[in-house]
């Protein structure tokens, strides 16, 4: 990372927060593990123009409950739980009442935000978090906690749109664009649902990984015009996890009539397409954002039942800057997980 990023990151990681005064529904979590997501990179480098420093990132958090408020009934001290991207919502809007609180316009992010008491929220790159019980979830006993951490973002980010758009039926033909943290879980979850899964990548570099290690059925190089033309009109859906600018027309042509292109990559500039690419096939360009707490639980139970895990590389807190640099180069298979409890957080 650059000098500014390295400075704030190395300083802020030494914070041991009880982030705010505990309320009756608050759960105090001793952080055990925290995944590193591309969004953490965007926020740390202010790619979206909304970062506030000092910042404690981390939103794929697994920890042990060490204290609960008097009205907490969802978890108990000693439970291994997860916390994700959101730690608060208004509870009154249509989205909240429909239990899709991730679309609440007053959602509170797990870090780089302000809680209702005016205190800044701080994420999982610290020894402790305080989270409202609504936004904590028990980790199934059959899932290793370090493996479960990335599922709280990468896993549910893929599971939620497949469920919402009616794409959980076996026999569908889908594609995953981008084989990173979200993409590799997309392959695993879609395969577990009984789909024929194609990985779309810009080069042939990840073919062996996709086919032999993740179990994809096909591999499509987007820069190969002949391959792309042969795959026209063949897919029910595409999950697009690519977090950088790219034209959409080449991928829209791969969809069948009524096919869906589901955007998931966070990109800070407009994407482009011509309208006939959508009209001549009644195709849909849509997006999806993580998932609800109900969907998160359902996804964890699905992964437990199917024996799915994320592919991770464990790092200590002192390696965090190196991990961020490698993530920016896409040099990770496929998710870094920080061993927070096993790291020395004091200066």
Burial 239-250 (b: 16+ CB within 10 A, else e): bbbbbeebebeb
Q: Whole-angstrom Cα distance, residue 30 to residue 69?
A: 15
Burial class of 321 by CB neighbour count within 10 A (0 to 12, 13 to 18, 19+): middle
Q: Whole-angstrom Cα distance, residue 221 to residue 200?
A: 6
Which residue reads 């790159």 in tokens? 125
* Six-digit token string for 317: 């807190």
Q: Specify the DSSP class assigned to residue 139.
A: P
Q: Is the pTM of this model over 0.85?
A: yes
Blockwise average pLDDT, block size 10, the chain, 347 residues:
39 45 88 93 87 93 97 97 95 97 95 89 92 95 95 96 97 96 95 98 93 96 96 98 93 98 90 94 97 97 95 93 91 92 77
Query: What is the predicted pLDDT for the residue at 347?
Result: 53
3-state class of 236 per DSSP? strand
3-state class of 175 per DSSP? strand
C-alpha distances (whole Å) from 126 to each of 11, 60, 61, 324 are 11, 12, 10, 16
User: Are the C-beta atoms of 68 and 77 separated by less than 8 Å?
Assistant: yes
**Beta strands at 255-263 and 196-201: parallel, antiparallel or unpaired:** unpaired
DSSP secondary structure letters along 52-117: -SS-----EEEEEEEEE-TT--S--TT-EEEE-SEEE--S-SHHHHTT-GGG-TT-EESSSSB-TT
What are the phi and psi torsion angles at 316 (to 5°)?
-90, 165
Q: Which residues contact 229 (CB under 8 A, 6 or more apart)?
A: none
Q: Whole-angstrom Cα distance, residue 34 to residue 28?
A: 15
Q: Whole-angstrom Cα distance, residue 217 to residue 69?
A: 49
Q: 208 has which bridge partners?
A: none
Query: What is the predicted pLDDT for the residue at 166?
Result: 97
Cis before 344 (ω within 30): no
Half-sphere exposure of 43 (CA within 13 A, CB side): 22
Query: What is the predicted pLDDT for the residue at 291?
Result: 96
Burial class of 283 by CB neighbour count within 10 A (0 to 12, 13 to 18, 19+): buried
The region, left, alpha or beta by phi > 0 then psi within -120 to 50, assigned to residue 72 is beta
Q: Whole-angstrom Cα distance, residue 136 to residue 127?
A: 16
């Amino acid at each position: 990372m650059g000098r500014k990023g390295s400075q704030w990151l190395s300083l802020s990681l030494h914070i041991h927060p009880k982030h705010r005064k505990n309320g009756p529904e608050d759960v105090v979590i001793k952080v055990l593990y925290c995944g590193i997501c591309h969004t953490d990179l965007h926020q740390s480098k202010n790619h979206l123009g909304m970062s506030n420093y000092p910042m404690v990132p981390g939103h794929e958090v697994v920890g042990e409950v060490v204290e609960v408020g008097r009205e907490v009934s969802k978890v108990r001290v000693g439970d291994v739980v997860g916390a994700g991207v959101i730690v608060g919502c208004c509870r009154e809007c249509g989205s909240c009442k429909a239990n899709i609180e991730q679309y609440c316009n007053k959602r509170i992010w797990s870090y780089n935000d302000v809680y209702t008491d005016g205190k800044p929220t701080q994420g999982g790159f610290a020894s402790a978090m305080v989270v409202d019980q609504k936004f904590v979830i028990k980790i199934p006993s059959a899932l290793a906690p370090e493996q479960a951490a990335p599922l709280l973002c990468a896993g549910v980010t893929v599971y939620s749109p497949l469920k919402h758009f009616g794409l959980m039926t076996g026999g569908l033909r889908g594609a995953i664009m981008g084989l990173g943290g979200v993409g590799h879980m997309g392959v695993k979850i879609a395969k577990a649902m009984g789909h024929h899964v194609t990985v779309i990548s810009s080069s042939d570099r990840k073919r062996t990984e996709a086919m032999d290690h993740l179990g994809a059925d096909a591999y499509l190089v987007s820069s190969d015009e002949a391959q792309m033309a042969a795959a026209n009109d063949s897919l029910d859906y595409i999950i697009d996890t690519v977090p950088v600018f790219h034209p959409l027309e080449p991928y829209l042509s791969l969809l069948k009539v009524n096919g869906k292109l589901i955007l998931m990559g966070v990109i800070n500039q407009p994407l482009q397409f011509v309208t006939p690419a959508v009209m001549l096939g009644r195709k849909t360009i849509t997006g999806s954002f993580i998932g609800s707490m109900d969907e998160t639980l359902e996804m964890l139970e699905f992964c437990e039942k199917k024996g799915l895990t994320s592919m991770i590389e464990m790092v200590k807190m002192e390696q965090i800057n190196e991990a961020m640099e490698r993530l920016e180069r896409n040099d990770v298979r496929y998710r870094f997980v920080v061993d927070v409890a096993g790291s020395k957080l004091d200066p």
